[in-house]
Structures are given as structure tokens and as C-alpha cells.
Homo-oligomer: A and B are copies of this chain.
Amino acid sequence: MSGVALVLVAHGSRREASNAEVRALAAQLAARAGEGFRSVTAGFLELAEPSIPDAIAAAIAGGAGEVRVLPWFLSAGRHVVEDIPGQVAEARARHPQVPIHLLGHAGALPGMVELLLAAAGNRAGGRQAG
């Protein structure tokens, strides 16, 4: 079992189905990762629970020796550039003994262009549309 916890961070929505969709994605990541992560959970910037600091604290309380935070956002707006780093900094101050890494936001991850092209059926992406 890995000592690394992954926290998938989303904006949060008044529409509970959207929050459930994020939690379901975290569960899918956990299932696919197998023992690769100690835990994979969701955290929300606003409008839903748990908050980002609370999700990180829960992962550490669950025994994680390292936390990776992955922003489930498409663009590098204020939330990605200011708000999430601010909350991660707050979590680091609360848990100085645990490395907490903030990863790049989903929209700009390596491989995204290829994934989109594959979905669009382009040969450069490696798959054809049906």
C-alpha cells in the first residue's frame, strides 16, 4: 500500500449531481490505481464538502505520508492560480511534517491534446471515431 494520498480538487456546485460526479471520478481513480495510492478523495473550493484543507487533513489522518493535490479545472483562472494554491499553503502550514504537492490543472496536463484528438477520431491521436 502506497503512503501517497491523491486529492482531486473541484470547484463545487449548488447542483449536488455535479459534486457527486466529482466524487465518482475520485472513486474511479481509486479503483483504477489499486494500491498505487493510499486514498483518492475529492475536495471542493466552495459550495460542497469537504473543503480542500479538510480533505487534505483527512488524508493525513488516514495515514498518508505525502499528499498530491490535482485541480479538476480546465483553465488557469483565478481559482487555479490563486485560490487553490492559497488553500494548499494553509494545509502545508497545518501539516508541516507532510509533503503536499500541488499538481498542474487538468486542462493543461501532458497528453490532453492527444486525448482530445483521439476522441475526435484523428489519426494523430491514435484512435478513430465510430
Chain A contact residues, CB within 8 Å of chain B: 4, 6, 8, 10, 13, 15, 18, 21-22, 25, 28-29, 32-34, 36-37, 68, 70, 72-77, 101, 103-104, 106-107, 109-125, 127, 129
Q: Residues of B contacting A120 with CB < 8 Å?
A: 6, 29, 37, 68, 70, 103
- What's the Cα separation between A117 and B112 when bound, in Å? 13
Given contacts A21-B107, A29-B116, A72-B74, 10 further A-B contacts (CB under 8 A): A4-B121, A6-B120, A15-B77, A18-B77, A21-B76, A29-B113, A36-B123, A68-B129, A74-B106, A111-B119
**Residue among B32, B109, B116, B127 making CB contact with A113, cutoff 8 Å:** B32
Q: Residues of B contacting A22 with CB < 8 Å?
A: 75
- What's the Cα separation between A104 and B115 when bound, in Å? 12
Interface pairs (29), CB distance under 8 Å? A6-B120, A6-B122, A10-B74, A13-B75, A18-B77, A21-B107, A29-B113, A29-B117, A29-B120, A32-B114, A32-B117, A32-B124, A33-B125, A34-B124, A36-B123, A37-B122, A68-B121, A68-B129, A70-B119, A72-B107, A73-B74, A74-B106, A103-B120, A109-B115, A109-B116, A110-B118, A111-B115, A111-B119, A112-B115
